[in-house]
Chain A
Amino acid sequence: MYLLGVNLADNRLVRRALRSFYGINFAVGRRICARFQIHETCRVHELTDSQIAALGAFLSSPATVAPPLRCRRAAVDEQRVPLTAPAPPTERSKLKDVLAELKLETEGRRVVRENIAHHREIGTYRGRRHAMQYPVRGQRTRTNAKTAKKLNRIDRRGFATW
Chain B
Amino acid sequence: MWNLFFSLVLSASYGSTLRYKSVERIKAVGKHSLIGASGEFSDFQEILRYLDELTLSDHMWDDGNSLGPKEVHSYLTRVMYNRRNKFDPLWNSLVLGGVKKGPKGEEKYLGMVNMIGTHFEENHIATGFGNHLAIPILRAEWCEDMTFEEAVKLVEKCLLVLLYRDRSSINKFQIAKITTEGATIYPPYSLKTHWGFAAFENPSKGAVGSW
B is bound to A: no
Interface on B for A, CB 8 Å cutoff? none
